[in-house]
Structure 1
Amino acid sequence: MAEREGPRLDVPRAPRRALLPSYDPEMFGRFSERIARFLGTGRFLLWMTIVIVVWIGWNISAPQGWKFDEYPFIFLTLALSLQASYAAPLILLAQNRQDDRDRVNLEQDRSRNERSIADTEFLTREIAALRMGLGEVATRDWIRSELAELLKELQEREQDGAAPQESD
């Protein structure tokens, strides 16, 4: 029997090379959260302010040949626009990830609360059953009142002269 040339059907194909680069979405999400956390700090605002002040100061006061961004500071505007165009999506991505975590935490809290309510209702029913059962049991106060009545009855009999006589 002649062997067939070409791909075999019982062997999986080698993966094709993708046209787009692959990346780990979880790693990219963590990276975006770190950037978003940094962009939301006072340290970032301070450094950004210092960079802008130095940039503007240099391009106003430096000699003509050393200036790299002439008035109206087009390169500075471009740099800030580029920074903002990357910062906004990264911040939104970080917010979406936080929303997902909050949603999971909310679902866990809700299920924990449902279990607590079910446990509380069960314990309430058990306490009610115990109270109903204790309604038929002689309590300490009831026994005291019965003994007090018997003692009173014995004292009345003794006073009436009808005290029981001891038999020998």
Structure 2
Amino acid sequence: MAVEERERSAPQPGRVRARLDQPMPPRRKLLPDYDPEAFGRFSEQIARFLGTGRFIVWMTVIIVLWVVWNVVMPDALRFDQYPFIFLTLMLSLQASYAAPLILLAQNRQDDRDRVNLEQDRKQNERSIADTEYLTREIAALRIGLGEVATRDWIRSELEDLVKELEQRRDGTHPQRKPRS
């Protein structure tokens, strides 16, 4: 039985045994390689252009020229007869590419908005925590100041003592009021 296992695990002729200590060679890809970030930026530029009045004016000018050319010119120079099927095909092609590019640009904007919203939320949490900390510190200072003798309190106490000493000197001994 050990002999059979060795024969099965031995490399077969014509078959290269994969080494596990080395990375595999890169495979050929069927699809072309592209930078998703560059493509995203390109789609945002297109979406920004498609959303402008300039695009509508240019598109209108092109369509008007297309229609005028194919109506006014002699039959030999016309490339799209009256139902303007080729024009319809071109507009459909433009729309079929524009819609996904606009959606891609919107998704990228949504991702940026989500990141900004998360950063704003974290900043708000930090601000709330800082505000709560400062509120606690101010409350502690107020409590501490409540136990500290203020200038006005010391002045009133000294005035009371001066009056009491003057009265003792004059010979009158009034009842001393309790201190607060």
Equivalent residue, structure 2, for 1:71: 82
SS in 2 for 1:12: coil
1:90 equivalent among 85, 101, 106: 101
**Matches of 2:96 and 2:128, distance apart in 1:** 48
**Matches of 2:79 and 2:162, distance apart in 1:** 112
Q: Deviations over 1:61-109 (max 9, x none)?
A: 2222211111111111111110000000000001001111111111111
Q: Does 2:51 correspond to 1:40?
A: yes
Q: Deviations over 1:87-141 (max 9, x none)?
A: 0000000100111111111111111111111111111111111111111101122
Further displaced range: 144-153 or 51-60: 144-153
Q: Deviations over 1:136-159 (max 9, x none)?
A: 10112212322333344455556x
Equivalent residue, structure 2, for 1:134: 145
Identity %: 73
1:162 equivalent among 159, 168, 171: 171
Equivalent residue, structure 2, for 1:166: none
**Greater RCO between the two (CA within 8 Å, min separation 6)?**
1
Look up the equivalent residue of 2:52 and give its one-letter code.
Answer: T
**Matches of 2:162 and 2:23, distance apart in 1:** 98
Cα RMSD over matched residues?
Answer: 2.1
Further displaced range: 7-16 or 81-90: 7-16
Q: CA deviation at 1:25?
A: 1.4
TM norm structure 1: 0.84
Equivalent residue, structure 2, for 1:101: 112
Q: In structure 1, list runs of 5 or more residues that go unmatched.
A: 164-168
Look up the equivalent residue of 1:107 and give its one-letter code.
Answer: E
TM norm structure 2: 0.79
Further displaced range: 22-31 or 127-136: 22-31
Equivalent residue, structure 2, for 1:26: 37
Look up the equivalent residue of 1:121 and give its one-letter code.
Answer: E
Q: Does 2:112 correspond to 1:112?
A: no
How many equivalent pairs are there? Answer: 158
**Matches of 1:52 and 1:24, distance apart in 2:** 34
Q: In structure 2, list runs of 5 or more residues that go unmatched.
A: 1-12, 173-180
Closer, same or farther in 2 for the Cα pair 1:155/1:42, shift >3 Å? Answer: farther
Look up the equivalent residue of 1:133 and give its one-letter code.
Answer: G
Look up the equivalent residue of 1:56 and give its one-letter code.
Answer: V
